[in-house]
Amino acid sequence: MATTKLDFILDTLQDISSVSFGSFMVVHLTAPISAFISAGEPTASSIQLLGRVWYQDSKTREILIVWGSLGVHIIVGIVKRITRVGRLRQLRGDLERSAKESEQVTEGTLSPSERRTLSKRSLYLRLREYMPRTWHALTAYITLPLLADHILSHRLRPATPVSYLFVSYHLQMKPILSSLKYSLLVSFATFHTLVGFNQLWSKYRPGHSKKRRSIQASERSWTTGLGWLGVVSAVGLGVRSVSREPVPSWLARRYAAILG
């Protein structure tokens, strides 16, 4: 009963934080998508400024929508994995004890080399339990360091908010590295988000049961694939348009100081 209640609390917190941070992500990606549709960097910077009214109008709002929801989502994900591993270990322990009691496997029936092999396999299984088993989980792990680097360079280092000319400068100074970072971050974060939204939709859409569809089904969903292709393509073309915008020399000096 306690486990069921804990699962319910963790699932609810994860759902709420997903919607909150997802709303920020949608607004945040609207800017580069707008650059693809019309006028490049000026449009992207204007949309970015409008978006900040939603998630950056006050410190409280930014803490709740961005930092708070992101922190909760990460912490809940870690707690869920730890509790899941704990249950798997308990189940395996019960099975091993049952096997020994029925004398299916005993120390006396194994040679020293077989015991060493069994011990190594047991260690491998324990380590494997912590590894992500779905693309949804794997993309979350890959996204975290990319997101940390993005937050550091684009949000924490600048003393004041920067426009999309900062992205232009970034891409012009280090085109290969910057393009790779943006591409990987958008690709993995978008996939993780779309799978999560597919999960939420399957659970909360009207007229259907509250049972969530499997992660694998959400990963294979045509809406996830089509949505990922559309978002990544539009953002990529928008960022490409932004990269062509000339950066004034006085701004270039400021951006160079920010990036060190």
* CATH number of domain containing 75: 1.20.1300
What residue numbers bound the domain in which 175 lies?
2-259
Helices assigned H by DSSP within 38-105: 41-55, 59-62, 69-101
pTM of the model: 0.84
The amino acid sitting at 50 is: L
Q: What is the pLDDT of residue 160?
A: 85
And the tokens for 153? 């360079």
Q: What pLDDT shows up at residue 98?
A: 59
Question: Which pLDDT score, from 0 to 100, does residue 182 have?
Answer: 96
R_g of the chain, CA atoms, integer Å? 23
Residue at 87: amino acid letter = R
Alpha-carbon span 232 to 225, nearest angstrom: 11
Query: Which pLDDT value is given to residue 70?
Result: 96
Say how far apart CA 193 and CA 71 lie, in whole Å: 15
Over the chain (260 residues), what is each successive 10-residue block's mean pLDDT? 76 94 94 89 91 83 93 93 70 56 52 56 61 90 96 91 93 95 97 95 77 86 96 96 94 90
Which two structure tokens, joined as six digits, stand for 204? Answer: 């909360």
Distance of CA 43 to the CA centre of its chain: 27
Q: Which pLDDT score is estimated for 58?
A: 76
- What was the pLDDT predicted at 159? 83
DSSP symbols for 190-252: HHHHHHHHHHHHHHHSTTS-SPPPPHHHHHH-HHHHHHHHHHHHHHHHHHHHHHTS---HHHH
Domain count, the chain: 1
